[in-house]
Structure 1
Amino acid sequence: ELSKNSDKVYDMSKDKICLIINQENFYTELNEEYKDLLPENVWEKGKLNTRVGTSFDCDRLKNTFESRHFKVIVKKNKTHLEVISILEETVKSINEQNCSCFYVCVLSHGDEGVVYACNSCYVEVSAIIDIMCEDKLESIPKVLIVQSCQGPSLQIAIKSKDFLIFWSTVPGFSSIRNRQTGSWFIQSLCDQMDEAGQHEHFEEICTNIIRDVTNKKWQ
């Protein structure tokens, strides 16, 4: 369940889908058509850094969701156009299969309201939400998990009551990722989901994750 405060009960007897988009290696898009989607000063700074350690997060998420009987789809190092296409195709498939719920996990670099694709072009988080919240999926719970840094401010209007977004950090702060073990956020998320019962509310799990990550000390 998404929230203990909700009086809506979801049917979880059908297929459950988790899509993981893991951006680890980056290059700079040369097509002039997309230059406005690149990070500021990208030519002076060079390409976005390789996200060393993200494979640990990706593997852990896959194992955790599979243990909860999700069908897990993993997509690695995709361009901004491919990300949108993958999301649209997955939503279409979910609608045709009449699935129970839909999770999307995005692991990448990010900034204010955006995440970066492997070609360093950004994808607006609001665009991801719009695809996930299409009318055809209105009746099923949808969760977007974003492991990335954020800019100084962030306001995104959520148009669906069956939707929850969970960011790895608050606006203006960096999301900590360990090169050997993965990110604090994703590893804590998987720890809490592995320890939780099958019927524990996801919002309660989120609260435990926030407490755990807040109490961590860099080692």
Structure 2
Amino acid sequence: MSGKTSLDTSLIPETWTGPHGDPRGQRPRTEPAFTAAITKEEFDSKYYKIKSGHVLVLNNKEFHVPNADLGNRDGSDIDASTISQRFSELGFEYELETDLSKSATVEWFEKVKRQLITKPVDCFVLVILSHGTANGVYATDQLMTTEEIVENFNATNCPPLRFKPKILIIQSCRGTNLSRGLNVPIDPNQADSSADLSEYYDWLGIQTVRLPNEADFLFSYATIPGRAAFRNSELGTPFIRHLSKAIEEMEENEDFYSVLTSVNKMVGMIYKPNDGVAAYSDIVQMPCFVSHLTKSLRLKQSG
């Protein structure tokens, strides 16, 4: 490969100004990659080896946030119980906490990180059931941004989880707008495409790699940015309900991407919101997931 490599943007200077000379102070903080040791066998493996796991379930139901009218999240206990049970059946140890302030949440995270030093796991899952915005979720007293949450478990701040898959499942609204859709008949025609993409790398004699702080995260959201998510006081949320069912029915060695994709389909195309009086005729909820994983993730592995 030849040619010059350059950034597809302009670097922001240490001190910079906005339009019309508006001072912005220090440039935004960025987390650099660092060098970390990894065996060639582990690097070449196409999927994460999962023999143990730990899941945290944060179930926030009652809120006291200044200048924010956040109602009680009735029905969330159903979600918390169901998702905990599903991961427990996979052999994951789980911890469940209810109605934590931001400081209490951070203290819980720190305690778990200390536990991981002496009792490492192959996979880490954090499930948050709460109210939220496009940028984060609410503790009982204030907003926690997604970035703040991720920083607790990234490669710099949580060494035991380096090169390990970290799944963040968020059941919350990400805005106040409702998603709208069309009622369409099922089309028997299908479009199917596949591609075998390969990336070059030179691994001869190399014993270390550059590990981005954001590597090995998988984010699964109840809805797309800017949109609201539904919850039923008796049934819980459609997102957690269908995700729990998909995990329960997951086949051995099935890639977790396919599990999340099936949840996207069931909630996005089949679920019909109903307020108890009349169904919303054109309102939908579209889950989504964003992957920073570097390997295939199989939570239910044979052997």
Question: In which range does the TM-score fall when normalised by the shorter chain?
Answer: 0.7 to 0.9
The 1:128–1:63 alpha-carbon spacing in structure 2 relative to 1, beyond 3 Å, is same
3-state SS of 2:152 partner: helix
Render the CA deviation track for 1:86-134: whole Å, top value 9, x for unaligned. 1122122123212111000000000121111112x11111111111213
TM-score w.r.t. length of structure 2: 0.60
| One-letter amino acid of the structure 2 residue matched with residue 105 of structure 1 | V
| One-letter amino acid of the structure 2 residue matched with residue 68 of structure 1 | L
1:107 alignment counterpart: 129
2:40 alignment counterpart: none
In 1, distance between residues paired with 2:264 and 2:149? 23
Q: CA deviation at 1:62?
A: 1.1
Render the CA deviation track for 1:129-164: whole Å, top value 9, x for unaligned. 111213301121110000001138xxxxx8433110
| One-letter amino acid of the structure 2 residue matched with residue 49 of structure 1 | G
Q: Does 1:73 align with 2:110?
A: no
2:110 alignment counterpart: 88
1:34 alignment counterpart: none
Q: Does 1:133 align with 2:171?
A: no
In 1, distance between residues paired with 2:218 and 2:54? 15
3-state SS of 2:71 partner: coil
Contact 2:57 2:80 in 1 (8 A): yes
Tell me which protein shows more helix as a share of its residues.
Answer: 1
In 2, distance between residues paired with 1:64 and 1:150? 25
Render the CA deviation track for 1:26-59: whole Å, top value 9, x for unaligned. 224xxxxxxxxx4xx43xx4xx210001001000
Q: CA deviation at 1:200?
A: 1.3
Q: Does 1:10 align with 2:51?
A: no
Instruction: Within 5 Å, give how 1:150-165 maps onto structure 2.
Output: 150-151=174-175, 159-165=213-219
3-state SS of 1:182 partner: coil
The structure showing larger relative contact order (alpha-carbon pairs under 8 Å, at least 6 residues apart) is 1
Where structure 1 has 5 or more consecutive residues not aligned to the other structure, the ranges are 1-5, 29-37, 153-157
Q: Which has the larger radius of gyration?
A: 2
Write out the 4+ residue segments of structure 1 that deviate beyond 4 Å after TM superposition: none
Q: Does 1:27 align with 2:58?
A: no
In 2, distance between residues paired with 1:51 and 1:9? 37
- The match for 1:60 among 82, 90, 93 is 82
Q: Does 1:145 align with 2:169?
A: yes
- The match for 1:178 among 232, 238, 263 is 232
In 1, distance between residues paired with 2:155 and 2:114? 10
Where structure 2 has 5 or more consecutive residues not aligned to the other structure, the ranges are 1-43, 177-211, 275-303
> Between the two proteins, what is the percent identity of the paired residues?
26
In 2, distance between residues paired with 1:173 and 1:110? 10
Contact 1:147 1:167 in 2 (8 A): yes
| One-letter amino acid of the structure 2 residue matched with residue 187 of structure 1 | R
In 2, distance between residues paired with 1:186 and 1:49? 19
In 1, distance between residues paired with 2:171 and 2:272? 19
TM-score w.r.t. length of structure 1: 0.82
In 1, distance between residues paired with 2:117 and 2:172? 28
| One-letter amino acid of the structure 1 residue matched with residue 149 of structure 2 | I
3-state SS of 1:133 partner: coil
In 2, distance between residues paired with 1:165 and 1:84? 19
Contact 1:23 1:78 in 2 (8 A): yes
The alignment's C-alpha RMSD in Å is 1.8
